[in-house]
Amino acid sequence: MDKLVVRGGNPLTGSLTVSGSKNTALPLMSAALLTDGRVTLSNVPDLKDVQTFARVIEVTGTTIEHTPQQHLISLNAGSLTRIEAPYELVKRMRASFYMLGALLGRMGKARVSLPGGCAWGPRPVDLHIQGMKALGAEIDLHQGYVVASAPAGRLPGGRVTLDPSSVGATINIILAATLARGSSVIENAAIEPDVVHFCEMLQAMGARLNGVGTRTLEIEGVDRLDPVDFENCPDRIEMGTFMIAAAIAGRPGQAVEIHHGRADHLGSAFMEAFQRTGTRVEESDSLIRVIAPEELRPVSVTTDIYPGFPTDLQAQWTVLMARCAGNSKVYETVYPDRFKHIPELQRMGVNAIIVGDEVVIEGGKAIQGTHVMSTDLRASVSLVLAGMVAEGETHVLRVYHLDRGYERLEEKLSGAGIDIERVRYDEWADPS
């Protein structure tokens, strides 16, 4: 098993490059199943989740050519025959549940395992199933699988209102609706950039979508979709993570450059809160320069759906607030119990206390390096951020969580001056 060893104290300098978006690459791969030709996706990040999803898709008979280092993946669902997504693969990654909409839309039937996904809280899929039923699917839950079928082999289409607005359910319902016999409407659709970019790919394939980027999405079913080569968008959460890293560990007054990101994908709430800390942001096409202030000001935030403050940056923000001279709160409204990183940060001396759905942070205390445990993707990266400014060494264990969503993080950070390395270790060895 691997861990990351970070020796704190080095400033973050120079530049960081943002990889392709994990949470957009996965829906784009799903869209490839809706046509019977070869689809090539570029700017696909070299991540565990992408590899896992490729294996899920190959179970259907779809052929895949994946060159991770070139950030390319080609999928040809002309050879799609099996309508299965098995538990032993789906349990590793929640987004595998997109197979339900893709197979139901393309083949008129699907047998997909209920998902697993990140550790925190229950991860329901009731909105996904409600949506498929609204489109006219017959759904049976049988031995941990969702068994779905369309009457006469093709969904009629229908109307569904999502409450709460769900990224995954929006994407899954769109996958099922684009090839339906009739029209569909999704009310309170998610409008995250991941969803918008996914819709743009479908439109390039010939899908008829109206209201992309708005809460009311209209989908007019078409008889077929054409293969397309399409470029994935940059990862907004990795970019936000790097911006926070620059505010935390950048030299005051000296710019850290972040390349290939899109600041507009982070939403107004994050950008406003980030600049209220006193950190300066200079944007120009795909370059963002972040200049840390002499003293960071505490800014309380509340997570929300886009364009609200991203829940995927909540853990990273807590570390930023720990560096401020003063108190602040982080209120999590999207997920219950997304605070698995707090006990680990407390072990590092961060004065953060969970009060219901809020974390109250008393900033300004020194952070001490120690051994800490990753628990989920964004929690683990917050431990790396803390280690960058901790006194001494921080060992971030079980870094496979981090490898799901951050490509070559230790290489990128060490290329920007941070003392960090990946070390293999035996979790059960005697620590003496």
> If binding means CB under 6 A, how many residues of this protein chain bind ligand EPZ?
24
Q: Applying CB under 6 A, does 127 fall inside the site for ligand EPZ? A: yes
For residue 244, what are the contacts with CB-CB under 8 A and spacing of at least 6? Answer: 274, 313, 316, 317, 319, 320, 385
Rule CB under 6 A: which of 154-183 touch ligand EPZ?
A: 164, 166-169
Torsion of CA 76, 78, 82, 84, to 10 degrees: 40
Minimum CB separation of residue 52 from ligand EPZ in Å reads: 11
Q: Is 331 in the site for ligand EPZ (CB under 6 A)?
A: no
Terminal-to-terminal C-alpha distance of the chain: 18
Nearer to ligand EPZ, 131 or 369 (CB): 131
The angle at the Cα of 235, spanning 168 to 195, to the nearest 5 degrees, equals: 30
Pairing state of beta strands 145-149 and 109-113?
Answer: antiparallel
Residue closer to ligand EPZ, measured from CB, 158 or 405 = 405
Q: Which two tokens stand for residue 374?
A: 């990753």
Binding segment for ligand EPZ (CB under 6 A), chosen from 59-67, 125-133, 274-282, 294-302, is 125-133
Residue among 82 and 123 whose Cβ is closer to ligand EPZ:
123
Question: Site map for ligand EPZ, 254-293, x if CB under 6 A?
Answer: ----------------------------------------
- Among the listed residues 254, 311, 346, 368, the single contact to ligand EPZ using CB under 6 A: 311
- Sign of torsion over alpha carbons 413, 291, 312, 64: negative
State the Cα–Cα distance between residues 102 and 222, nearest whole angstrom: 14
Choose between 76 and 166: whose C-beta lies nearer to ligand EPZ: 166
- Which of 94, 154, 236, 401 lies at the binding interface for ligand EPZ (CB under 6 A)? 94
Strands 301-302 and 327-331: parallel
Contact between 24 and 198 (Cβ < 8 Å): yes
- CA–CA dist 122, 68 (Å, integer): 32
Tell me which of 118, 199, 233, 324 is the catalytic residue: 118
By the rule CB under 6 A, 128 interacts with ligand EPZ: yes
Instruction: For residue 66, give Cα distances in angstroms to 34, 50, 73, 113, 116.
Output: 19, 10, 4, 24, 24
Give least dist CB 249 to ligand EPZ, A.
22
Which amino acid type is present at position 158?
G
Please report whether residue 136 would count as binding ligand EPZ according to CB under 6 A: no
Distance CA 159, CA 203 (A): 20
Residues in 193-232 that interact with ligand EPZ by CB under 6 A: 194
Can you tell me the distance from the alpha carbon of 310 to that of 334, in angstroms, rounded to the nearest whole number? 9
318 binds ligand EPZ (CB under 6 A): no
- The candidate with the shortest Cα–Cα distance to 113, out of 142, 155, 151, 149, is 142
Nearer to ligand EPZ, 335 or 425 (CB): 335
CA distances from 226 to 147, 344, 374 (A): 27, 48, 42
Contact between 146 and 114 (Cβ < 8 Å): yes
Polymer length in residues for the chain: 432
Q: Closest approach of Cβ 344 to ligand EPZ, in Å? A: 17
Nearest distance in Å: CB 201, ligand EPZ: 15
26 binds ligand EPZ (CB under 6 A): yes
Active site residue 118: yes
Tokens 């259907």 belong to 60
118 binds ligand EPZ (CB under 6 A): yes
178 vs 316 by CB, closer to ligand EPZ: 316
Six-digit token string for 334: 């999207």
- Cβ nearer to ligand EPZ, comparing 241 with 394: 241
Based on the shown chain and the rule CB under 6 A, indicate whether residue 247 belongs to the binding site for ligand EPZ.
no
Q: Which residues in 374-413 contact ligand EPZ (CB under 6 A)?
A: 377-378, 405
Compute the least distance from the CB of residue 285 to ligand EPZ, in Å.
25
Which amino acids are annotated catalytic? 118
**Footprint of ligand EPZ (CB under 6 A):** 23, 26, 94-95, 118, 123-128, 164, 166-169, 194, 311-312, 334-335, 377-378, 405
